[in-house]
Amino acid sequence: MDFSLKQVNGVDIKGVETAFTPLDKPYRTVVKLVMTDDTILFGCVFEDDCTFTAPSPQSVTAHQNTHAGSWGRVRRWVAAADWTVAELMEAAINAQAETNRLIRSLSSVRRSRDEWRVEALNGRTKVVRRDEQIAELKTRIEFLQNQISAQARAFRSNPVASQVGASTDRVRDLENLVNALAAQVNGLVQSNAAE
């Protein structure tokens, strides 16, 4: 392996070795430079007169985009990775399969989101209807309470009616019933507020 420089930043190059990809394949256009101070750098050998060095081989392969146009970038990427055409095809097929899986997953998430959105809107509609029903019940109960209270006052103030104990009990039962209904409506209101 040949590298055009003999020094980098004033430090001599002790040795030039093959650089390997993360998949343990040799780079064709990147070399490993062992410096005299025992540091490791990587150099570009894409062109004979290139003097680019970097602390990682990935930086060197990124630099190699400056050497040629887009087709040169593709060629360098393939060469730097040292992949065969079959490996590239397999990687492309796997990438396409993964892309399709992600698209299906995204579609599923969108459907789920849309279903939740509809459920939330339906739930909100139900809450609004329930609030309206509770308000209507409260109005009716207030009306009934006022009517029963007025009748009870009129009944109690009538001297003849006070002699009839059963009627007084009936009025008391009606008052208790209306109060029980009012308590139930208040319970509904509180549980609705908690939701």
> Where do the domains of the chain lie?
7-82, 118-194
b (16+ CB within 10 A) / e for 109-148: eeeeeeeeeeeeeeeeeeeeeeeeeeeebbeebeebbeeb
**Is 3:11 a contact under the CB 8 Å cutoff?**
no
**Is 42:19 a contact under the CB 8 Å cutoff?**
yes
The separation between the first and the last C-alpha atoms of the chain, rounded to the nearest angstrom, is 74
Predicted confidence (pLDDT) per residue in 89-102, tens digit? 777 787 788 888 88
The residue among 3, 1, 2 whose CA lies nearest residue 52 is 3
- What does residue 44 show for φ and ψ, rounded to 5 degrees? -90, 130
β-sheet bridge partners, residue 43: 31, 53
Contacts of 30 (CB under 8 A, 6+ apart): 19, 42, 43, 44, 45, 57, 60, 61, 80
Percentage of the chain modeled with pLDDT above 90: 7
Q: Output the average pLDDT for the chain.
A: 76
**Pick the residue with more confidence: 16 or 171?**
16
pLDDT of residue 90: 76
Q: How would you classify the pairing of strands 53-54 and 40-44?
A: antiparallel
pLDDT of residue 70: 45
Predicted confidence (pLDDT) per residue in 37-82, tens digit? 999 999 988 777 788 899 999 888 888 777 765 445 455 455 555 5
